[in-house]
């Protein structure tokens, strides 16, 4: 796999392809970031972007993880002391999950977001950004909650973070797209360069295949789950043997294989008794997906295998959580 393919693997959107190709020509030492609001135990949403960060480290880039304590405060997630305690737990979980500690820099937002220069730039953005534009940028992140003034300041800060962290590339879920577009529009107005961005997909709801998997609504998988909890959730997941002809539903089991399992394992083995055809071995996602659709791979076998490999991925983080809490 060449460097560009590694950098963009499993990205839903590349903004822009030309800029990222230029970055891929000399990625060593380039700085990429994801910002995480410290909000609790890591779940599959966090880990999808973490998988992309691991790809980028493999490509030679330096990763910056913004532990966005000021953003969390603006979003009503507790006192700064409570938020920072949560952030330290998240940091330990990310390292346990597989981020290279030597090439990962963890930064608290409060280390630079309260400085005078940053604050003055933030006021400049407030002057030049309409209320509607800021609300649009925040809408998908905010959800259905009634908008507060803090909510419209939030995306303006994310825009400035890209400059103040001295970044070459921004990464986020597809729900961050409008924020990154705002940054591309507004940073030049302050005399700063635009940066390219990668957007990772949003995995569908585990039980229905509709909408998106959410830690606040419905079922998600987190580092807090025991092996038994994880198996129960995966076994109850929506997994039709054929694709939805209308294209309205996704298969979350296949999505978890594609975005979580195959990027982290060179080979996937589905263990089956000889009377059911024996073991199946896959080195690429497309082959597994094709076998599920053809009937060669039964949904129950796919789910059992998915649970096993997901458990291998989250087990180190689960153990780290136990250490922290003990």
pLDDT band at 226 (very low <50, low <70, confident <90, very high): very high
Confidence of residue 142 (pLDDT cuts 50, 70, 90): low
- The 3-state DSSP class for residue 114 equals coil
What is the rounded average pLDDT of the residues 140-160?
Answer: 82
| Residue 93 is assigned to a ligand binding site | no
Give me the residue label for tokens 């800060």.
157
Ligand-binding site membership of 192 (annotated): no
Longest Cα separation, the chain: 70
Mean pLDDT across 107-116: 98
Q: Does residue 54 sit in helix, strand or coil?
A: helix
Could you report the per-residue pLDDT of 254-305, keeping only the tens digit for each? 999 999 999 999 999 999 999 999 999 999 999 999 999 999 999 999 999 9
Q: Which structure tokens are listed for 272?
A: 């089956």
Going 163 to 164 to 166 to 168, the CA torsion angle's sign is negative
Residue 138, pLDDT > 90, answer no
Instruction: Supply the pLDDT for residue 283.
Output: 98
Q: Is 103 annotated as a binding residue?
A: no
Give me the chain's average pLDDT, please: 93
Is 208 among the annotated ligand-binding positions?
no
Q: Is 161 annotated for ligand binding?
A: yes
Domain boundaries, the chain: 3-200, 227-325
Residue 325: band (very low, low, confident or very high) from pLDDT cuts 50, 70, 90: confident
pLDDT in tens, 49-103: 999 999 999 999 999 999 999 999 998 899 999 999 999 999 999 999 999 999 9
Distance of alpha carbon 104 from alpha carbon 57, whole angstroms = 9
Q: What is the model's pLDDT at position 294? A: 94
Of the candidates 285, 238, 237, 239, which has an alpha carbon nearest to the alpha carbon of residue 264?
285
User: Strand 268-270 and strand 280-282: pairing?
Assistant: antiparallel
268 neighbors 281 (Cβ within 8 angstroms): yes
Question: 229: pLDDT confidence band, cut at 50, 70 and 90?
Answer: very high
Q: In angstroms, rounded to a whole number, what is the distance separating the alpha carbons of residues 321 and 326? A: 9
The pLDDT score that the predictor gives to residue 215 is: 61
| pLDDT score, position 247 | 67
**Look-up of token digits 């360069």:** 193
Q: What's the rounded Cα separation, in Å, for the pair 171 and 31?
A: 11
Q: Which residues of 63-77 are buried (b: 16+ CB within 10 A; e: fewer)?
A: bbbbbbbbbbbbbeb
Name which CATH class applies to 227-325: mainly alpha
Give CA–CA dist 113/161, Å, rounded.
8
Average pLDDT, integer, range 114-132? 96
Domain 3-200 fold is: Rossmann fold (3.40.50)
| Confidence category of residue 244, pLDDT binned at 50, 70, 90 | low
pLDDT computed for residue 241 by the predictor:
81
Pairing verdict, β 13-15 and 197-200? antiparallel
Give the model confidence (pLDDT) of 166-221 as tens digits.
999 999 999 999 999 999 999 999 999 999 999 999 999 999 898 888 765 567 89
| 214 labeled part of a ligand binding site | no
What is the mean pLDDT of the segment spanning 159-169?
98
- Closest of 205, 201, 226 to residue 214, by C-alpha: 205
Contacts of 57 by beta carbon, 8 Å cutoff, 6+ apart: 63, 99, 100, 103, 104
First to last CA, the chain: 42
């Amino acid at each position: 796999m060449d460097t560009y393919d590694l950098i963009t693997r499993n990205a839903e959107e590349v903004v822009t392809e030309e800029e990222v190709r230029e970055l891929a020509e000399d990625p060593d030492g380039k700085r990429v970031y994801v910002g995480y609001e410290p909000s609790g135990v890591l779940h599959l949403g966090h880990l999808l972007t973490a998988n992309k960060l691991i790809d980028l480290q493999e490509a030679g880039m330096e990763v910056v993880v913004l532990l966005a304590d000021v953003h969390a405060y603006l979003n009503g997630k507790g006192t700064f002391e409570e938020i920072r305690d949560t952030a330290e737990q998240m940091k330990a979980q990310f390292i346990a999950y597989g981020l290279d500690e030597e090439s990962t820099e963890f930064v608290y937002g409060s280390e630079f977001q309260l400085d005078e220069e940053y604050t003055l730039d933030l006021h400049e953005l407030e002057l030049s950004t309409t209320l509607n534009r800021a609300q649009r940028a925040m809408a998908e992140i905010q959800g259905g909650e009634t908008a507060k003034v803090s909510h419209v300041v939030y995306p303006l800060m994310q825009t400035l973070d890209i400059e103040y962290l001295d970044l070459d590339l921004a990464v986020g879920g597809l729900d961050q797209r409008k924020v990154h577009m705002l940054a591309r529009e507004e940073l030049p107005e302050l005399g700063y360069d635009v940066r390219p961005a990668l957007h990772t997909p949003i995995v569908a709801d585990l039980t229905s295949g509709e909408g998106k998997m959410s830690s606040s609504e419905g079922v998600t998988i987190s580092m807090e789950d025991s092996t038994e909890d994880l198996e129960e959730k995966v076994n109850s997941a929506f997994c039709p043997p054929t694709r939805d002809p209308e294209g309205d539903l996704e298969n979350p089991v296949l999505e978890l294989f594609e975005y979580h399992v195959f990027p982290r394992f060179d080979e996937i083995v589905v263990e089956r008794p000889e009377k059911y055809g024996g073991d199946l071995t896959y080195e690429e996602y497309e082959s597994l997906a094709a076998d599920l659709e053809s009937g060669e791979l039964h949904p129950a076998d796919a789910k059992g295998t998915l649970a096993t490999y997901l458990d291998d991925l989250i087990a180190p983080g689960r153990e780290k959580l136990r250490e922290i809490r003990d």
